[in-house]
Structure 1
């Protein structure tokens, strides 16, 4: 830190020039990043059963039209009238001409799928679009065409798997932009209250935005080598703004103190890097360790979030230790101008009398503080025991989003199962399908058709009623049978395909039981099989995340324990920090479960009541982000406790003095963090809203109940054991001194 502080403070213009060039080069790529992100989690599971089924259908069955856009039309006059039917037929003909649409299946009067209601005012039209390359572009053209249809005769809305995924990506980007625009003025106002000067207020915002820009450009580069999650953008924004402003608060405050000791701004900036910079670097390292835990699961979707988080934190730390001191070295006393407010209540270098008195009251009754705060946190965490995770699909979007609202009409027509189809591939183990297999295959199809909740089974075995509903006349029925036959056998006739269509779009909570009954029937048939489809892909992603969570937690705990042990030369302090941070995360997870899954206060927060599950990535994201950020406040407080203790204060007095000196910094930083996180609660993507809610709750609990009540009380009870370290370990550990 001494070398870095010396270089940056003595060559500020060169430092700023380097970052300026990096920012200019980053902006074009950062702007392209949101459009390149992906909202499909299951696509990152390359070895998953659903992924293998998709590959078999493409490579062995020649299936190219499994991606379906569903157009829901409301017609006035009804389709049964000449005028209504003419308007609808014009829609269908124009849809066939849209570039990228390979096939259009119009509504059939009286048919099961696609269909129309009894009055002929509501109907479904299916448009097959590319499965992978060009899917988003083709869907955009379909939507543009639908929007241009004469709304006086037909109102057209588009849904389907691709539409839902694209809406997730679009609204996640919009949520992030709106959150930034909403949070920045509020943060600026709070920083002005904290610093009292416009220049000092602008510095933390500049550092946060600079690190976000470079991180997003790097994220865009990653999209060319791996699948990158939509949520990576939200995590980068949260960490870039939240952590960046936290670190800037610490650095600017220390610089002001150093200026009072030495009026030379370059020496003050150098000293700031050597003191507060150490705490910033150490805090950033703990956050980076937590985010790096997300790189462990073999899931590209989750790894991209971890990589994005690590990038954001490291760049934020680097900007805080280079750009900020360079600016401070150039500004000097001008950092305090123009003085708008005459008080700087949060960033005074002196201890707060009120917070010192509060700490004395807490440490006077440590058992009451520990037991009371722990009981409250456990009570808040209790609902997390009932947490159900999964992929909510369209229900993970807020009402008012077209793909979600249109799905309601699809459900009303009894066609919701179109979005919950299960694909079964049966293996004849190298033997070609022959006449002797017919009875066995047909028996399995009939058993699948008879299962509860199954609306239909697509196979070669159709009844006269199936033929009539498929086309309405002999030629149409024979054509339908021909298509079914081609789709049911692989090109070498050694694989058989069956598509099971449920009676409705299955909520995530109901998919496991439906999957279980399918597997039981398939296993009894004696065929080796693979089971795929969108519901299975979502379930596999959820199970992969759940299975990876223990490894993520263990890795983060181990890394954090070692880091804190070295920093504070203690075994008890890192153990205490891990347990209390975990308790904070559990309490936040309980609150999110209560709101999102059980609907408590969901309405006022704009969270739909029919989501039913938490996004599968939420627990691991909440743990990694909040566990890392909690360490900021932990290090701010503990470094001061250690500093006072090394100066000769008793353990109890060191705790009281540390709270008096750091409580205002911690509460100011926490309010800013809360604003950043809470801004995401007002978005359109339920997963982003849930993450924002969880982090907002966690930061409030951590900065108040945990850091200012539970931790001081525990440190009081532990006494001299806080700083105990075996002699053999004491001799071997490197020495690090943290100051702020």
Structure 2
């Protein structure tokens, strides 16, 4: 960005602001109704065997599909005539409701023991629903209140995946409103503490608001063509506030610094846009490319964060580079008006030299003993990272909701008071074995029943235990074969939402399939909760190398173009990886293992960590970390080009960005940590994890590890081989080293500094 660009912004400042105001209004209108575009679910891989099994069960065996489970309790036991009459009537009403494929209950299915609690106080209605995850959740949202209105004295509780998704949608909408209500005043107070001036504190919020509204309009438009998760709204709000504030802080601090150095408003705008604006543009591009990596995953839950995140990053960067300079050009020195701390500070004295600044002195202390301080920081991060070696991946379920939520309590009743058949059944669908080849299921069912941790297998040919048939086919057996598909119900002896459950799925998948048509092996799809977890984590594992490649490759290229150095991008990647590993370790320690849960509102913990969160945190937090890396390196490089003194340049860069990076990190972490108030553990985990990543990066990494590393590397920090140096000369970032706020007294001439880089 050249001085001509900043001059054009100055001349056309009112035009830019009028266009921006129009864009703001259009974005607000374009985002109306976005919540109706967002859909539930998206945690599973649609191409996985477990997803295929779920589709086949819904199509061929709807009575075995438990999308929505209603628990009914009456004044009398479930076998009493009065309760049986009411339960039968409600079953028929549910079966006739729009969106319901089939309804089965204890009273209409021959009083099957599996549909009755062990104490006889609760009976079940199991519903198979039409449509995808979002359709089923919306059906549950309509149907459950209707059933309760007609319960006639029965207590109705709802469980099942559709009800979980329905309640999550309500919770996330409530939590988003609560977080926004809390975040705005807290952010304004923190901005006042940073800038002192009411006017300066308000400007970052303007850019944040612009980025949030633009990204919501983008989500609304995209929602018409692709599936976007309800969680995208929460992430968009958090990132919009965080990045809008981040970028605005950097430009605003540079503008005030230039004014403080005696520059006019027009003169101050030049280096603000040319240097700080260019840094923000590089940073925004880096964050956006980090989020692009989420598009390689098959789960639209993850892709949704890319859609919303890229929109909010680009709009925040554009607002900071275009709208904020126009606002600063209009405000000028009035940006410092209404200084709430002016009386406390007293009359302003002469500006202090950078060498007397506390960040400058701190950097010098660290660089006098780089091995001691750097090694200590690495040790702290390594200790924090160590619990990640014990990670046990899982997936979102009812326990992601608060323990007092009705769906959580209903599902816990299913676990505690019903036989394992209710939650412990693993559906195995065999394609190519129709009614004419039913006997081919006999050896396969025997083999499945002999697998460790299998309690019983029910097939069209009978029931099997430990490799033996214990019961022949009954009246209901014919319903387990439809067209060329057969269903085998495997009752597990272990909890499906556990590592033992996923290991059982692996053992079931290894059993040789039966012969199908033309004596070819039939196609077998293992479904159920454990299979969904296994398939989703496998899909994430397969796509993760490509995602990491995108993040790492784009960051290396952009940082090289920014610095002209080979070592600096590698250093940035290594340090970011170290701080993110510490974040992952803390997530496992708190949310998986249940330590110190009181610090985050005491959410329920399942002994697993949602498999989508580490990769999501990696992509988002890596981009945020590169923000601070670029901010710091921009001032270090600027000074080094001027002086050629590596150590002094690092101290100078930290002095001029340390306060801003710390303030930005505190503000971003505060916005993210507000999501810890969410009743949905997934949002709580994501908000706390990202907040911790930002804090670790801004403290241990930027303040300690970067100065330590750059002191040890010395002039090698700026080295590049001749071919890459020539490439950077043609395509990289080049800037003059003059500045009104940087004194021209140098320890080495600029030509020497440039030779040092080479």
Q: Is the pair's TM-score, using the shorter chain for normalization, greater than 0.5?
A: yes
Q: Give the drift of 1:36.
A: 3.0
CA contact (8 A) 2:211 2:316 kept: yes
After the TM superposition, which residues 293-442 of structure 1 pair with which residues of structure 2 at under 5 Å, given as runs?
293-342=293-342, 351=354, 353-415=357-419, 417-419=421-423, 421-428=425-432, 433-434=435-436, 437-442=437-442
SS in 1 for 2:511: helix
Deviation of 1:642 (Å): 1.5
User: Do the aligned residues in 1 keep the contact of 2:650 with 2:710 (CA within 8 Å)?
Assistant: yes
Residue 181 of structure 1 corresponds to: 181
Partner residue in 2 for 1:473: none
Shift of 1:517: 2.7
Per-residue deviation at 1:527?
A: 4.2
Distance 1:635 1:201, change over 3 A: same
Matches of 2:7 and 2:344, distance apart in 1: 29
Specify the alignment match of 2:681 in structure 1.
686
Assess, with a 3 A threshold, how the Cα gap between structure 1 residues 92 and 57 changes in structure 2: closer, same or farther. closer
Provide the C-alpha distance between the structure 2 equivalents of 1:360 and 1:186, rounded to a whole number of angstroms. Answer: 34
> How far 1:62 moved relative to its partner?
7.8
CA distance in 2 between partners of 1:212 and 1:255 (Å): 24
Q: Are 2:505 and 1:515 equivalent residues in the alignment?
A: yes
1:668 and 2:663 are equivalent in the alignment: yes
- Once residues 441 and 83 of structure 1 are traced to their aligned partners in structure 2, the CA distance between those partners, rounded to angstroms, is 42
Counterpart secondary structure, 1:113: helix
Partner of 1:468: none
Aligned to 1:470: none
Work out the CA distance in 2 between the residues paired with 1:344 and 1:514. 67
Task: Return the alpha-carbon distance in structure 2 between the equivalents of residues 40 and 663 of structure 1.
Answer: 41
CA distance in 2, matches of 1:588, 1:627: 11
Question: Contact conserved, 2:31 with 2:220, CA < 8 A, in 1?
Answer: yes
DSSP 3-state at the match of 2:340:
coil
Deviation, structure 1 residue 131: 3.4
- Structure 2 counterparts to residues 110-509 of structure 1, below 5 A: 111-118=112-119, 120-132=120-132, 134-148=135-149, 153-260=153-260, 265=265, 268-269=268-269, 271-342=271-342, 351=354, 353-415=357-419, 417-419=421-423, 421-428=425-432, 433-434=435-436, 437-449=437-449, 451-454=451-454, 457-462=457-462, 481=475, 484-490=477-483, 494-502=484-492, 506-509=496-499
1:554-573 matches, cutoff 5 A: 554-573=549-568
Deviation per residue, 1:584-643 (Å, 9 max, x gap): 111101111111111111244235454221111111111111111111211222222212
5+ long unaligned stretches in structure 1? 465-476
Does the 8 Å CA contact 2:49/2:527 hold for their aligned counterparts?
no
Secondary structure (helix, strand or coil) at the match of 2:225 reads coil
Q: 5+ residue gaps in structure 2?
A: 465-471, 742-758
Structure 1 distance, partners of 2:288, 2:211, is 14
> Partners in 1 of 2:17 and 2:191 — Cα distance?
23
Tell whether the 8 Å contact from 2:403 to 2:604 is kept in structure 1 after alignment: no
CA shift in 2, pair 1:308/1:115, >3 Å: same
Superposition RMSD in Å: 3.1
CA-to-aligned-CA distance 1:74-104 (integer Å, 9 cap, x gap): 3334445555555545644554554433443
SS at match of 2:68: strand
Q: Does the CA-based 8 Å contact 1:459-1:485 persist in structure 2?
A: no
Asked whether the equivalents of residues 370 and 714 of structure 1 are also in contact (C-alpha less than 8 Å), the reply is yes
> Structure 2 vs 1, CA of residues 58 and 253 (structure 1 numbering), >3 Å: closer, same or farther?
same
Residues 674 and 438 (structure 1 numbering): CA distance in 2 closer, same or farther, change over 3 Å?
closer
Q: TM-score scaled to structure 1, two decimals? A: 0.88
1:45-124 equivalences in 2 (<5 Å): 45-57=45-57, 61=60, 66=65, 68-80=67-79, 84-85=83-84, 88=87, 91-92=90-91, 94-96=93-95, 98-108=97-107, 111-118=112-119, 120-124=120-124
Deviation at 1:27, TM superposition (A): 2.8
SS of 2:67's partner is strand
Instruction: Classify 1:247/1:135 alpha carbon distance in 2 versus 1 (closer, same or farther; 3 Å).
Output: same
**1:42 touches 1:538 (CA, 8 Å); kept in 2?**
no
| Conserved 8 A contact 1:67-1:162 | no
Shift of 1:58: 5.8
Secondary structure at the residue paired with 1:499? strand
Q: Secondary structure at the match of 1:507?
A: coil
Q: Is the 8 A contact 2:441 2:514 kept in 1?
A: no
Shift of 1:185: 1.6
1:512-571 Cα shifts (integer Å, max 9, x gaps):
212123223344778422214242233212111122222222221121112111211111
Distance (whole Å) between structure 2 residues aligned to residue 130 and residue 672 of structure 1: 45
Any idea what SS the aligned residue of 2:487 has? strand
CA distance in 2, matches of 1:692, 1:635: 23
Paired residues, number: 714
- Distance across 1 between alignment mates of 2:34 and 2:66: 24
After superposition, the Cα gap between the structure-2 partners of 1:569 and 1:228, relative to the gap in structure 1 and judged at 3 Å, is same
**Residue 210 and residue 634 in structure 1: after superposition, are their counterparts in 2 closer, same or farther (change >3 A)?**
same
CA 600–349 in structure 1, closer or farther in 2 if over 3 Å, else same: farther
TM-score by length of 2: 0.87
CA–CA distance in structure 1, aligned partners of residues 87 and 49 of structure 2: 40
* Whole-angstrom CA distance in 2 between matches of 1:273 and 1:375: 39
Q: Distance in 1 between matches of 2:255 and 2:290?
A: 29
Instruction: Measure, in 2, the Cα distance between the counterparts of 1:46 and 1:343.
Output: 62
- Answering whether residue 601 of structure 2 is matched by residue 606 of structure 1, we say yes
Report the equivalent of 2:24: 23
Does 2:733 match 1:736?
yes
1:583 Cα deviation (Å)? 0.4
Q: Take 1:417 and 1:131, find their aligned partners in 2: how far apart are those partners? A: 25
Quick check: 1:63–1:487 contact (8 Å CA) kept in 2? no
Classify the secondary structure of the residue corresponding to 1:700: helix
Q: Distance in 1 between matches of 2:264 and 2:170?
A: 50
CA-to-aligned-CA distance 1:171-217 (integer Å, 9 cap, x gap): 23333332222222211101011111222211111211211111122
Deviation at 1:729, TM superposition (A): 2.2
Aligned-partner Cα distance in 1 for 2:89–2:352? 74
Q: 2:527 matched to 1:533?
A: yes
